[in-house]
Structure formats: structure tokens, C-alpha cells
Amino acid sequence: MMIRSMKKAAGVSLFAAVLAIGVTLTERQVTAQVTAVPRVGVAFNQTVTRQVTIESADPEGGTIAFRLPNGQFVVCPVASSLIGSLATLADGSNANITYNQVVTLLNLRQKGPGSREARREQMSPPDATDIQVGRFTMTVVGVDLPNNTVSVIDGRGGPVQTYRADTIAKQDMLKKIKVGDVVIGLTTPLMVTAISPVK
């Protein structure tokens, strides 16, 4: 009688263990199917010139606030050689501004989980939050390993942006991406180096 009870208890325990393993495997399989693993962000320095609308200029603080053509509001320090000219800029006027920025590629979504949603985001107009923080979604259109460059373009059109990988870490990143990959990134303006009022 005691042996039969022990066998029954062992059988129940074995069944419970198998059931638990099955549930665990199912959860892991589902998670593996829907989770896209983001890659480490890689930053590129870039100098750009844009025609902007001056919101305000602060000679005392050495900063200028302007609005980019896409609507992004930027407050940025200016080079010391430009501080004296800030007082001549009128609020609401237009100017060509050259500034340095960091472009950080936060995530490269391959043609797998997450790529369909990323492409849908890319084709839709950016929302106000995306514009204000400088977030973008683009598609890789070229990878030039001999010259260590990657080229991307917005799904809604516009110029092709090319970034040069000038460190070993960035060059290693280039080897892992392909044409057609979706790039999600962020632009961070650093310092204004030239201002030319538009008349």
C-alpha cells in the first residue's frame, strides 16, 4: 500500500515537472518570436547648415534659440567668436546657421521582428515628440566597407545622409548591417559655429 502511494506521488511529481518545463519552453519560444534585440548605440559627429527661424538670441548667455524647417525647437550655445553678433539678430528673422551635432544610431532593426512596425513608423509623419527630441527613422541604402561609410534615407524622401565610421567600434557596426535595415536614431545639436542672416 505504501509503495503504491509512493509510486502515485512520484508519478504526479513527474507530471508536474514535465508540465512546468513545457510552460517555460512555450513562454521562451513566444518571447523569442516577438522581441527584437536592440543593438548598442553608435554616435557620429556631423556639421550641418540649415536655414532656420530665429526665436531669440542671448548675448549674455552666449546661446541662440531657433526653429528648424521641420519644426524642431533648438537652444544651442554659440562659438565665442559669434557672441558679439547675437545682438543684431531679430526675433522671427531667418538665418543660415551652421552647427555641430551628434547623430546617434540607437537601434538597427533587421528584416525580422519589429521591422514591419519600424517601416510603418518611417512612412508616417513624425509626431511632435519625435520632432522636438530630434528622433528619426531611416532606411539603410548603402554600406561601403572599404571607405567605412553608411548611407541612410528617410522613407518620405529627402537627401541621403552619409556617416563615416572613424573608430574600430563603428567599423565593426558597419559589418553587421545591410541595405534595407531600418535605423532609429537621435540628433543632438552641440554648438553653432556660423550665422549668416538671410535678407
Express each pLDDT in 14-40 by its tens digit. 444 444 444 444 444 444 443 444 445
Nearest Cα neighbor of 64 from 33, 40, 95, 29 is 95
Q: Do 61 and 7 fall into the same domain? A: no
Q: What is the pLDDT of residue 12?
A: 44
Domains identified in the chain, total number = 2
pTM of the model: 0.63
Q: Which residues contact 44 (CB under 8 A, 6 or more apart)?
A: 102, 103, 104, 105, 163, 164, 165, 170
Q: Do 187 and 90 fall into the same domain? A: yes
Q: What is the rounded CA–CA span in Å between residue 12 and residue 190?
A: 65
Q: Do 86 and 181 fall into the same domain? A: yes
Look-up of cell digits 528648424: 68
By three-state DSSP, how is residue 144 classified? strand
Residue 20 structural domain: 1-34
Q: Do 93 and 55 fall into the same domain? A: yes
Q: Which of the pair, 55 or 183, is modelled with greater confidence?
A: 55
**Residue 199 in contact with residue 84, Cβ under 8 Å?**
no
- CA distance readout (Å), 48 to 6, 37, 148, 176: 77, 31, 20, 27
Q: Do 53 and 141 fall into the same domain? A: yes
Q: Do 88 and 167 fall into the same domain? A: yes
What is the pLDDT averaged over residues 141-166?
A: 85
Residues in the chain: 199
Q: Do 165 and 130 fall into the same domain? A: yes
Q: What is the pLDDT of residue 55?
A: 95
Which helix (H) or strand (E) element contains residue 18? helix 2-34
Q: What residues are paired with 95 via a beta bridge?
A: 52, 197
Q: Do 2 and 54 fall into the same domain? A: no
Q: What is the rounded CA–CA span in Å between residue 129 and residue 62?
A: 27
pLDDT tier for residue 130 given thresholds of 50, 70 and 90: low
Q: Do 88 and 144 fall into the same domain? A: yes
**Residue 182 in contact with residue 120, Cβ under 8 Å?**
no
Nearest Cα neighbor of 176 from 32, 40, 34 is 40
List, for residues 56-104, the tens digit of each pLDDT value. Answer: 999 999 999 999 988 889 999 999 999 999 999 999 999 999 999 988 8
Q: Do 17 and 54 fall into the same domain? A: no
Q: Do 76 and 29 fall into the same domain? A: no
Kindly report the CA angle at 134 between 131 and 135, in degrees rounded to 5?
A: 90
Q: Do 54 and 3 fall into the same domain? A: no
